[in-house]
Amino acid sequence: MQKAIIAGALAIALVALASFAAGGARMKITSSAFQEGGNIPQKFTCDSSDSSPPLRIAEIPSVAKTLALVVDDPDAPSGLFTHWIVWNISPKTNAIAEGSTPQGVQGTNDFGKSGYGGPCPPSGTHRYYFKIFALDRELNLPSGTKRNQLDAAMKGHVVAQGELMGRYAKQKR
């Protein structure tokens, strides 16, 4: 009986370790501007000031050396459309103020610009994912890097992640 208990405990520990090593640990990313699955207010979109919403980050693992933030739209007609990418953010960062950019390195979004580009769907309601990744190392990528290069550099280095999804439908003019 004791051997079965020890074997069970060992199996649970190995599953937890494998899950953590594979980026299975969860972080939280929230916004005071909208709830998970809720509507993103117009002021954070191309229909208004196009400023970034306030974000809070919690449950950052102590092993994190840096964070990466990605905002994307999987409902874009051309496929996944990236609105914002920033990496090498300090793991001590637990909040990003409205309209600000966290200190780190900014990549080029799919609008062809650096910085935040808010929701701007051509039609219908789209989902926008604000994703936070805790990494076990800093990334040696130049400013202006595109999303596919960031994803490749993060591969095997994600120790935890979280996401917040909001929805937006372009306003009729």
Which pLDDT band holds residue 171 (cuts at 50, 70, 90)?
confident
Residues in the chain: 173
Closest by CA position to 53, among listed 144, 168, 134: 168
* pLDDT tens per residue, range 95-145: 999 999 999 999 999 999 999 999 999 999 999 999 999 999 999 999 999
* pLDDT tens per residue, range 16-71: 334 444 446 899 999 999 999 999 999 999 999 999 999 999 999 999 999 999 99
* Distance, CA of 153 to CA of 111 (rounded, Å): 22
pLDDT of residue 80: 94
Q: Is the pLDDT of residue 83 over 80?
A: yes
Average pLDDT of every residue of the chain: 89
Which pLDDT band holds residue 2 (cuts at 50, 70, 90)?
low
Amino acid letter, 125: T
pLDDT of residue 56: 98
